[in-house]
Amino acid sequence: MKVSHLLRSIQYAVLTVVGWVLTPIIRLIFSLVYRSSSKCVTPIEDPLCLLPATELARKIRTREVTSEAVVRAYIERARLVNRDCNFIVADRFQEALQEARNVDTILDGHVIAEKFSEQNAPFLGVPTSIKEAFALKGMPQTSGLVMMRDYRASEDAPVVGRLRQAGLIPTMVTNVSELCMWYESANRLNGRSCNPYNTSRIVGGSSGGEGCAIASGAAVVGVGSDIGGSIRMPSFFNGIFGHKPSNGLVPSGGQFPLPTGRDMELLTTGPMCRYATDLLPLLKVMSGPEAKLAKLDQKVDVMKIRFFTMFDDGGSLLVSHVEPEIQESQRKVSTEQSNHADRYIRLISTQATEQSKIM
């Protein structure tokens, strides 16, 4: 027993030294290889591409701007930045423009049908992107698999149907990792998607095309799916907001590939947005009737929420370290949370003391 423990200790020490030697060398090689391809996409110029989806919906409904103008602005932006980032698998730009014109005609009419009301169609006329793993009628649904190159979806996935019913207009389907099984959105069919802030970096996966489109200003909201980080990692890598809801809140049907067995318990579908203010309204749309079960309208005292964070892996050189900037951000959040909690406790104690004096 002691001998096997000693051997494991020696093995660990050797691998640690190897990692200590190889890590800087590998980083240097990759930096040299990708330095020439490093580029940041051009800044967003059209102000319509700098507004939350909820604000765009309000402006369209009050006729401050037309849906066609909004959709056209996002289409032009998508065409521009896709040259550097390669996140579009296929587009439906012309169809989207026609659907936007239809919305404008409806809103310019004297009588607006109930299904187009603000309550039933809260995002009426706002463009959205769709992760290519989800069925969007008439569009590819290959998940980057070469043998599926000619396949086209015959109907919308349930969550896509709910987005359309809420008034959102799909403009394109976006790239994923092959079969949605890797944290880099690259495949032999559609190539690799590049990060809009630095095109030599990855966008994460498997919902990486969504993350890239939203971060670059080619979309304002989108839909992703997540088992082991497929919404969360692209959101983090691209600096946007994403949420993995509880299982069963949003329908996950209509995806390819669809997990089986216990993996289905881990798969969830959720929103991805450039602005945090759009997360809850979009999640309500995506969850439909189940939104009431999740009590999404109930106010939450954030001071009572517990969260856990790990600053590093314990110092092992066998895996990549957490970057110092990320560790510093974690510490700031932890410190602020602790300070807010202390102030909250003191406030409650003071209120209880004053209440006892009154009684």
Q: Which residues are tagged catalytic?
A: 131, 206, 230
Position 271, amino acid: P
Helix axes 208-216, 67-85, angle to 10 degrees: 120
Alpha helix stretches (DSSP H) within 140-258: 158-165, 208-216, 232-238
Q: How far is the C-alpha of 218 from the C-alpha of 286, rounded, in Å?
A: 21
* E strand or H helix that includes residue 269: strand 268-273
Strand pairing class (88-91; 191-192): unpaired
What are the tokens at 129?
Answer: 């992107």
Based on the number of CB atoms within 10 Å of its own CB, is 127 exposed (0-12), middle (13-18) or buried (19 or more)? buried
Q: Which residues of 58-93 are buried (b: 16+ CB within 10 A; e: fewer)?
A: ebbbeeebbbbebbbbbbebbebbbebbbbbbbbbb
Based on the number of CB atoms within 10 Å of its own CB, is 192 exposed (0-12), middle (13-18) or buried (19 or more)? middle
Q: How far is the C-alpha of 130 from the C-alpha of 338, rounded, in Å?
A: 39
